[in-house]
Structure formats: C-alpha cells, structure tokens
Amino acid sequence: MYIKYIQIFRRLEQSYDQIVHPQKRRVLRHVLDGVMGRVLELKNEMVNLELCEYHYFDDVLSDLKLTPVSYITSRFIYLCIYLLLNCTQSAR
C-alpha cells in the first residue's frame, strides 16, 4: 500500500508541476498534501509495527515490476523531511 501511495504521489506531483490554471493548482496542492500526510502515517505505522526505520521493498517492487529509483523522487524526500521536522518541533 505504501508503494502505491508513492506512485500516486508521483503522478499527482507531475500533474501539479504541469498545470498552469491557478484554481486547479490549488485544489491539486490540497490533494497532494493529503497524500503526503497519508504516506507519512503509513510510514509511521510501519515503523511502529516493525520497530525499524528501514524497510525492504524488494519483493513488492519486483511484483510491481518497479526499480528502487522509480518509486521515489527527490522532492518527495525533502517534503517528508520538512514535514517531519515541523511535526517534531511543534510537538515540543
């Protein structure tokens, strides 16, 4: 499910980058924020279940015929780090 959300995020992110219409961009940004939040929730649940920060998706990626590079983007990494830092700072 985590990989599927990452794929959805990538597609929405590409759409967001290509849309020029301001109202549609605003709506798509709202959807992107929701998907990012869900991805972070899933990641947190996986960490709590497995008690490990690192997860191995080799089997899932091979079933979906994906490469490790194809399911993650650099912007996604930076956005997640930014959100995590803001969540931890606001909790203090």
Smallest CA-to-CA distance from 10 within 90, 74, 85, 83 is with 74
Predicted local confidence at residue 44, as pLDDT: 84
pLDDT computed for residue 21 by the predictor: 92
Structure confidence by residue, pLDDT tens digits, 32-90: 888 888 888 888 888 888 877 776 777 777 787 877 766 665 566 556 656 666 665 55
Cβ(9)–Cβ(43) below 8 Å? no
Residue 30: is its pLDDT beyond 60? yes
Nearest to 60 by CA among 9, 15, 5: 5
**What is the pLDDT confidence band of residue 27, given thresholds at 50, 70 and 90?**
very high
**What Cα–Cα distance (Å) separates residue 36 from each residue in 31, 57, 59, 79?**
9, 19, 23, 8
Residue 29's pLDDT is 86
Of 49, 46, 45, give the one whose Cα is nearest residue 57.
Answer: 46
* pTM score: 0.68
